[in-house]
Structure 1
Amino acid sequence: MSDPTTVLLCYCTCPHAASAQHLADALVGESLAACVNRIPGIHSTYRWKGKVTTDVEELLLIKTTVERFEALKQRLLALHPYELPELIAVPVERGHTAYLDWVRAAGED
């Protein structure tokens, strides 16, 4: 992932709507992401501190670039209420060219 213009789709879960909206506003407002979609009602089952837990969360789909990822990660970690926030970035291999160009340009405003 050495090309800084590569578009990334990042996944992050949040415990509730307020924290999800706060993160979305900050990441887009600070030009770290072009767009953040919030998907409520995600049911997550995971092992945490030796116990299997199930929670209802909101999933954020964050669109950014490799160039902005490190700054996005640092901001997300600073604002997120979880002790260990999920942040997974997947490179976008294909898509609507005009949309991907818009994501790339979003940090230039």
Structure 2
Amino acid sequence: MTADSTDRPCVVTTALGTEDEAEALAASLVEAKLAACVQVMHVRSFYTWEGELKREPEWVLFAKTRSALFAQVEAFIRQHHSDELPEILQLPVGGGSADYLRWLLDATTPQA
């Protein structure tokens, strides 16, 4: 793996209210080389919003990227997300298959 300690693989998560919106955002993140891979999973979320308990279907995105791109990924999600307050979480990757992590970093390296 070629990343230094300030540019390590990470996973960025967000959740969207429709499958179409989730798939469009996932594809756009990969096409923009902001993520090497994005998984979309259907879940049911429970949360409180404006004093009311919500129980909603959502599609969660797990975007595999690099920590140095987090600000760009966050801005991209905010720009393309329909929620007033989108979930955007960065999860560090503490380890993994060296070959996979090398591919992840290569796939998110801007072309010269």
> Does the CA contact (< 8 Å) of 1:3 and 1:66 recur in 2?
no
Give the aligned partner of residue 38 of structure 2.
Answer: 36
Give the aligned partner of residue 74 of structure 1.
Answer: 75
Q: Give the C-alpha shift of residue 10 in structure 1.
A: 1.5
Distance 1:69 1:22 in 2: 19
> Does the CA contact (< 8 Å) of 2:10 and 2:91 recur in 1?
yes
Which stretch of the first structure deviates more once superposed, 13-22 or 3-12?
Answer: 3-12
Distance 2:45 2:14 in 1: 12
Distance 1:80 1:91 in 2: 23
SS at match of 1:9: strand
SS at match of 1:26: helix
Question: What is the aligned counterpart of 1:6 among 1, 5, 8?
Answer: 8
Distance 1:95 1:3 in 2: 15
Aligned-residue sequence identity (percent) comes to: 29
The RMSD of aligned alpha carbons is: 1.3
Distance 2:24 2:6 in 1: 26
Distance 2:6 2:81 in 1: 25
Distance 1:78 1:9 in 2: 19
Distance 2:5 2:99 in 1: 18
> Does the CA contact (< 8 Å) of 1:12 and 1:87 recur in 2?
yes
Unaligned runs of 5+ in 1: none
Q: Give the C-alpha shift of residue 80 in structure 1.
A: 0.5
Give the aligned partner of residue 19 of structure 1.
Answer: 21
Distance 2:81 2:50 in 1: 19
Q: Give the C-alpha shift of residue 65 in structure 1.
A: 0.4
What is the TM-score normalised by the length of structure 2? 0.90
> Does the CA contact (< 8 Å) of 2:66 and 2:108 recur in 1?
no
1:2-52: CA deviation from partner (whole Å, max 9, x where unpaired) = 834211012111101111011101110000000000112x01000001111
Distance 1:31 1:13 in 2: 20
> Does the CA contact (< 8 Å) of 1:5 and 1:104 recur in 2?
no
SS at match of 2:108: helix
